Amino acid sequence: MYSKFIQFYTKNNYDNTLKLILLIINTLSLIYFIETSWCIPITVILLSIYLLVSKKELKDKKSLVYTWIIFSLATILAESFIISYKVIPVLKYKNPDINNVPLWLISAYLNMVISIIIVNDYFNFSISK
């Protein structure tokens, strides 16, 4: 399993490195700017840079953006519903923006989507070998 992991990263080194850099920088910006309104603009800029320098096909780039948007909207709606309509508070944020959900979560959701794509790519690579 470990050797397949190394093969995966050496085969797709450029794109995997870009994804890891995106994850690290976006996570650091979340940590540093969580109390400000800069998280989403920074995430959009980072994603734009990734899309410009990535060697992925256009359909894969569109798929990433659509997945992020749909995942973010669905998750924010679900969290807002859980927070707003429960008699017993199950979930509460310190700095809610819209419907009791903080907007910095949208940046965190990009990290989740990128992580899922990396795991999916790895398992597709592992199964094909």
Q: Is residue 55 part of a domain?
A: yes
State pLDDT tens for residues 37-59.
899 999 999 999 999 999 999 99
Sign, CA dihedral 91-75-73-67, equals positive
Backbone angles phi and psi of 98, in degrees to 5? -120, 125
- Which pLDDT does position 97 carry in this prediction? 66
Tell which wins on pLDDT, 1 or 41.
41
| Residue 79 belongs to a domain | yes
pLDDT above 90 (res 69): yes
CA 45 – CA 41 distance, rounded (Å): 6
Mean pLDDT of 95-114: 82
DSSP for 29-92, written as a single string: HHHHHTTSS-HHHHHHHHHHHHHHH--S-HHHHHHHHHHHHHHHHHHHHHHHHHHHH-SS----
Residue 8 neighbours by CB distance under 10 Å = 19
Number of domains in the chain: 1
Q: Is residue 1 part of a domain?
A: no
56 within a domain of the structure (yes/no): yes
Residue 3 lies in a domain: no
80 lies in which domain range? 9-128
